[in-house]
Structure formats: C-alpha cells, structure tokens
Structure 1
Amino acid sequence: MLKDLKKICDPEVFEDVFNLYGKDLRRFLFFKTKDIDTAEDILQDTFIKLWENCDTVNYSSVKGFLYTVANNLFLNSIKRNKVKQNIIAQLGSNYNLESPDFVLEEKEFLIKIEQTIASLPEKQREVFLMNRIEKKKYKEISELLDISVKAVEKRMHQALIIMRKEIGNV
C-alpha cells in the first residue's frame, strides 16, 4: 500500500527507480542489441518515457512499464535499421551518401595519388606498386627483381619520401 503512494514524478523516487532497475535494464538491452552504445541510448530513452508518463505510471507497475518501453524502443530501432538498409539497397551500390564536396575532394585526391605514382622514377614506382598494391613483402620483391632486400628498402624509402612530399601539398 505504501508503494502505491510513491509518486514517480518525485525526483528522489525517480532516482530510486533508476538505481533499482537501471543496471538490469541495461543488461537486458545489451543482450538484445549486442552493442553497449545502442543499449545506453535505448535505456536513456526508456527513462525519458517514464519521466514523460510519471503521472500515469504506478510505482507498483514501474518495472513492467520500463521493460515494455525498452523492448518497444529496441524493436523500433530494428525497424528503422531495416528501412535504412532497404533504402540503400533500392538506391543501389553506386549511390553515395557522402556530400558532393567530399566526393569531389576524394576524386581530386585519387588523381593526385595516381599522378604522383606515375611521376616516381621507374625503379621506385615498380617497388612501390609491388609492395603497396600487390602486397608483396620486401623479400619477395628482391627475389623477383634480383636485387638485395636493402635495395628494395632504399627504393621504397625514396618513393615514400616523394609520395609524402607531393601528397602533403593537396
């Protein structure tokens, strides 16, 4: 009977409710979402809903209210994510969600990289491409080019110096 007299709109009672159910509700949400940030967001939204409805929720039924709201918010987040995925799938993989400025800067950057690689001396370019594009180890490159590993290291070092100098000016 005393529990029913507690008003959730009272800040102290609200804080007690949070302290009593917050951890368990967070674990419940983490179990469902598998993401602590999402669980925290839903937990916060759940307690906001409780505060917004504090006049209508009885203290004796607050636990059920919290879990029902949390579960509904979780289900809503899943629906939103499905809608986003469907929209992206319908737009196609060629659709870019980045800003036009970003896309333009990215294209300019890629052109600058290609030009810089093309301007490298042939021996440096060859080593650079084998290492960075073909993902070959220095030892493999040295065997393919019939040069020492130290020579490969030196060519790569010189290529990287030029790349950093040129790309740094973008």
Structure 2
Amino acid sequence: MNNPEIFEKTYTQYWKKLTAFSYTMTQDNDLAQNIVQDVFVDLWERKSDVEINAIEPYLFRAVKNQVFKHYQNNRFDKTILEDKFEDYVIDHFSTIDPEVMDLLYSLLDKLPEKRKEVLLMYKMQDMTIDQIADELGISKQTVKNQISSGLKQLREGLKDLAWLAPYIILHQNF
C-alpha cells in the first residue's frame, strides 16, 4: 500500500461498496462516509507498518470495527448493529446471492414445519398476518408467535453467518 497509485485505485474500487456496507449498519449516510474515510486515512497513515494479504476482507473488517468503535465510544451496544445486519439479511433474503440462500434455507429447514411455512408466507410471499391466519386456519396471535419465534431462531443461526456480511452487501444492487 506504499504506492499512491495502488492506494488511489483501491480507494476508487472500494469506496462505494464500503460506504454502502457502513450505511447498512449505521443508517446514517454522513456517518457511513466518515467511517470509510477514517479507514482509508488510517490505512494510508499505517501503510508502511501494515501487511495485508487480501485487501477486500481487510477493508470490510476495518469498516465493521470502526462502526463498532464509533458506537462503543458513543455508549451504544454493538448488539444493535448485529441485529441490524441480521434484520437486513432476513428482510432481503429473497434477493440475496444463491450461495447465501442455500445457507439461509438450511437454517429455515431447522425450523419446525409450521413455523417455516408461516415465515416463508410472511417473508417470501409478502402475505399479511390476517392472510396467513385465514389460509392456514389458525389465529392471528398464533401467526404472530410463529413469525416472532421463527425470526428469533433465524437471528440465532445468522450469528454464525456474520462473516458473510461483506459478501452479502457486495452482491446487492446499491
């Protein structure tokens, strides 16, 4: 990274992707841009000290760490960010890359059959709670409980997939 041309090329190549990634965690465009800028400034300042084998994972990890550091310094709980990531995956799993979908479907397959059915109707078919209750002949409260329990189980499973965050973000159409 000692070469200014390589640094500039890296900056140009990753700025937009890293900002989009940062934004998904912060929901604040200015903060997201500042965090990415801080990562690149830090990288340039430490260019002679840092040895990077793979630049993309390094940059995404650095952005994630900067976001966590920002929230930690501002007394926020990083679980909020983890939840945002998990919510993003759950809310967008119908548009995620097929390889990631396979992993998500394996999580879905671990759900009890009725819970899985309700969750797929809710998330994939965009059915309302009322529609699901009518379709399956169950109460609205049962539908709500199944959705809540299903999402909770998926979130738990997604904690193991946190390493996919950069991969998922990179394959979205921003």
Fold shared, TM-score > 0.5 on shorter chain: no
TM-score (norm 2): 0.40
Which TM-score applies when normalising by structure 1? 0.41
